[in-house]
Amino acid sequence: MRVVVQEQPFDIGAETTTFASGHKDMGAIVTFTGIVRDLPGDPLQAMEIEHYPGMTEAALTEIAQLAIDRWKLGDALVIHRYGRLVPGEMIMMVATASKHRKNAFEAAEYLMDYLKSRAPFWKREITDAGESWVASKAEDEDALTRW
């Protein structure tokens, strides 16, 4: 398992290649990447992501370990950025490796659902109209109930 919290961009190609190498017994690799999306009607200048150093790494590691145990993954990767990002930039990625694709897909969704509302990150949107903290969505909390 690898958990990375960093300010600088990551290379999704290199990360995926490294992750997918050396897993001869794993037939499926799933990756998900989150991108800073522009806002309709009120162009986004930047997104600032704050986090809780120490707890962030611990929470992501705990979530990744739960996914590994539950879906018998060969490996899991979580990379999440913080700091100032502009639309189109990659915020985060997860990757999962398992024998067959079903577990890899499910575990990736589980990782995404949990790190959306259980990893200590807070997003702030900066637009021409001003700045505001992104509110959590009830649907993100509801998404956890299916697990």
Partner 1 sequence: MDVLYFAWVRERIGIPREKVETSAATVADFVAELRSREERYELAFSDLTALRVAVDQKLTDFDAPLDGVREVAFFPPMTGG
Interface residues with partner 1 (CB under 8 A)? 34, 50, 52, 54-55, 58-59, 80, 91-92, 112, 115-124, 133-136, 141
Cβ distance to partner 1 smaller for residue 38 or 141: 141
Nearest to 28 by CA among 87, 96, 112, 110: 96
Cβ distance to partner 1 smaller for residue 92 or 104: 92
Sheet holding 130-133, edge to edge: 83-85, 44-51, 121-127, 130-133
Cβ distance to partner 1 smaller for residue 1 or 55: 55
State residue 140 phi and psi, 5-degree precision.
-70, -40
Q: To the nearest whole angstrom, how small is the minimum distance from the Cβ of residue 5 to partner 1?
A: 10
The partner residues of 137 in beta bridges, in order of sequence, read: none
Q: To the nearest whole angstrom, how small is the minimum distance from the Cβ of residue 34 to partner 1?
A: 6
Q: Are 76 and 20 in contact (CB under 8 A)?
A: no
**Distance between CA atoms of 122 and 81, rounded to whole angstroms?**
11
Q: To the nearest whole angstrom, how small is the minimum distance from the Cβ of residue 65 to partner 1?
A: 15
Cβ distance to partner 1 smaller for residue 45 or 61: 61
Q: To the nearest whole angstrom, how small is the minimum distance from the Cβ of residue 79 to partner 1?
A: 12
The partner residues of 92 in beta bridges, in order of sequence, read: 34, 80
